[in-house]
Structure 1
């Protein structure tokens, strides 16, 4: 297992904007794509309102008055104080857990719940944090036909079907419609960042970026830098699941998914939407290999609806306030913008990345706090 960590700190400047940017909206092609690709899953998970309704809400919010420039005075002080208490406005911790002794696995699965999957009784949706790691599974070698053999994820949901949205309600001064739109946008981000075949294949996650507020300092600029010029300090895998298509490809169309989304009022009068999801990708080397390896990615992300009466915001878009990530079976200390699964056969060749030196961790254990052991690169107990 490999563990890699990184952290970005964002501070809010109290200098008012000289020229407030025009209000961007989520592009029609972004909504249309997700209307086509995830309509079935969104209908199943949302209590009400399909994505067309979300577009109506976006338009209504867009027409609402927004503050001109960053607020000064008490509101500014509150924002700065909140940032200091968190210590990070957008904290990022990545812990890739690379394998020393792994079994063959496969490539990322089906983002939209279609395609081949091992038959197994599905688990009930996760409604609270687990109290223990999944039970031990009989060891089995994954194959092209059974990429999740021997994995606890065998009976997890397929792709976006596992991203189930809670019922929206009004929270403080934030309306039910606005909360519902934010929940839909959270699902868009999770799907576009972790399940879209284009993103998994190393492409640009445009739909994920489109739901983030460009007025939040540094976030979009640093994400764009990470995608165009990845490095240790600007690593796109901390938010996006990307593999080098010259090295590996998806096996089948199924990525296994498990987690939950909650929302609550925050201390500054807005709403925080908290998501905690694990994605299991079966991969195979490009070029005809049949050896399968699995990479497990867990992401804990907070997206926030900021109170427009206090802060400069773009109506209808979200602020990214927390982003933690653990990676099971990805090479240590490689910062080229991709995750690099390790295969059993790598033990007899030259494996990618640094030698793991940290503790052994179970990447399927969703009961543990994410981010423990940061800065180390260790070994996963299973893949």
Structure 2
């Protein structure tokens, strides 16, 4: 740019330098001067700016262009020496801290590895996701991004889109609805389930009324006892993806795999913060009401599974029970393998559910 500036400046100087008029030009000028003295030039001949005025403006334009060229050249040199002077970090030269906190792109398929461990930090009431990979995850419902709907066999694109939206509504109602997470009945989730599938709906209703080892509502719903636990802030971090395929009941099946991270503290006013991590794998189907006895616009639950990190084992009262580092576990002593609850590259643990494992981080 500096060389270009020098070349343009030299060219402008040459073009603006005074030149000796030719003999013909001197003759024409002298003839016009005598005609003007005799009053022979027609009126209006000098309308418009005088040549001297035009040349003056042209010179000013060249001067501004030259000054601008100097400013640009100086700016280029300055930015080259100190890129941080430009706003917005246009060259991607931001700090490592900013990169660590930047949101992750949406997950569209299972990752190939567990997320890296950020610098160890203790979560606080003001920074409940400090030291957690979930810091870069989406907030709540924004983390459930639907794939583009396409027709599947005889199932139209609109039906596929409907199935995706209903499955998202189920996931939100079961895991993100503020009232449901704080222990209330998850009505939004029930509004999506098909009442003509009693083995699922009746089972869940029984689990909410009379939770037990056999009927445990946390198998599908994330909920905390409001007398024991309170959520820290209004944000639940979410990450996962959704896919679809041809269903077995004349419709479209949707497979959802999401992890939810809940920052919590004790309800007694303690400032200690911990996190419970819940991963849910769910398969639903929007069946064909013309061929099967189903309720139009409602979902069948084909299968569901879960993996819960940092909740007391073998406590079946219908709630999740986070453990805090300052107190001993209220449940059984961990005896199972250690698991990274943030590792979404592996499948949900199908091992011995009688064992109480440990989590490598929260």
TM-score of the superposed pair, with normalisation by structure 2: 0.70
- 1: distance between equivalents of 2:108 and 2:160? 19
1:121-270 superposed matches below 5 A: 121-270=102-251
Determine if the alignment matches structure 1 residue 277 to structure 2 residue 254: no
Aligned residues: 262
Determine if the alignment matches structure 1 residue 380 to structure 2 residue 343: no
Q: CA deviation at 1:135?
A: 0.9
Asked if 2 retains the 8 angstrom alpha-carbon contact of 1:178 and 1:316, the reply is no
Asked if 1 retains the 8 angstrom alpha-carbon contact of 2:247 and 2:287, the reply is no
Asked if 1 retains the 8 angstrom alpha-carbon contact of 2:163 and 2:252, the reply is no
Q: RMSD of the TM alignment (CA)?
A: 1.3
- 2: distance between equivalents of 1:264 and 1:202? 34
The partner residue of 2:309 within 313, 328, 331 is 328
Q: CA deviation at 1:184?
A: 1.2
Q: CA deviation at 1:128?
A: 0.8
Query: What whole-Å deviation, never above 9, does each CA across 1:90-148 have from its counterpart, x for those lacking one?
Result: xxxxxxxxxxxxxxxxxxxxxxxxxxxxx920000001111111112211110011100
The partner residue of 1:355 within 333, 336, 339 is 333
- 2: distance between equivalents of 1:313 and 1:266? 14
- 2: distance between equivalents of 1:124 and 1:314? 36
Pick the structure with greater CA Rg: 2
Bigger fraction of residues in helix? 2
- 2: distance between equivalents of 1:291 and 1:255? 17
The partner residue of 1:312 within 285, 289, 293 is 293
Q: CA deviation at 1:360?
A: 0.4
Which residue pairs with 1:44 in the alignment?
A: none
Name the SS for the 1:346 alignment partner.
coil
| Gaps in structure 2 of 5+ consecutive residues | 1-99
Asked if 1 retains the 8 angstrom alpha-carbon contact of 2:249 and 2:292, the reply is no
Name the SS for the 1:345 alignment partner.
coil
Which residue pairs with 2:344 in the alignment?
A: 366
| Gaps in structure 1 of 5+ consecutive residues | 1-118
Query: What whole-Å deviation, never above 9, does each CA across 1:227-251 have from its counterpart, x for those lacking one?
Result: 1111000000000000000001010
Q: Which has the higher contact order (CA 8 A, sep 6+)?
A: 1
Which residue pairs with 2:68 in the alignment?
A: none
Which residue pairs with 1:65 in the alignment?
A: none
TM-score of the superposed pair, with normalisation by structure 1: 0.67
Query: What whole-Å deviation, never above 9, does each CA across 1:321-376 have from its counterpart, x for those lacking one?
Result: 110100000000000000000001113xxx21111110100000001110233312
Name the SS for the 1:344 alignment partner.
coil
Asked if 2 retains the 8 angstrom alpha-carbon contact of 1:324 and 1:371, the reply is no
Q: CA deviation at 1:267?
A: 4.6
Asked if 1 retains the 8 angstrom alpha-carbon contact of 2:259 and 2:277, the reply is yes
- 2: distance between equivalents of 1:217 and 1:204? 18
